[in-house]
Amino acid sequence: QVQLVESGGGLVQAGGSLRLSCAAASGRTFSSYHMGWFRQTPGKEREFVAAISWSGGSTYYADSVKGRFTISRDKAKNTLTLQMTSLKPDDTAAYFCSYHQWYTNQDFWGQGTQVSVSS
């Protein structure tokens, strides 16, 4: 299916910010799909972070990131972003970009980008 590539992760101190990006590889597009961000730490279940409708008109956030993270998409550039501010050590995780293939009820993820927040 559509290959996703995440970027923008790194090491930052608590209170700092990072901007994650997700792009489709090989000239493919995901503009017609709902998309989202998930995160996972070693030994833990993958956790929902944020989602956005295919049109960009609706957004959804986990309670733990509301007011701090913002998800957006640019259909012209075929990219998805996650602006993260006021980062906390608990935000440390591998972050994954995802798209929802509605006609098969399947979710697909990229390989992830690491975010590390120090106290």
Spatial strand order of the sheet with 4-7 comes to: 4-7, 18-24, 79-84, 69-74
Spans of the chain, pLDDT less than 70: none
Note whether 69 and 84 are within 8 A (CB).
Answer: yes
Q: What is the pLDDT of residue 19?
A: 98
Average pLDDT of the chain?
94
Query: What is the percent of the chain with per-residue pLDDT over 70, rounded to a whole number?
Result: 100
Q: Is 47 exposed, middle or buried (0-12, 13-18, 19+ CB in 10 A)?
A: middle
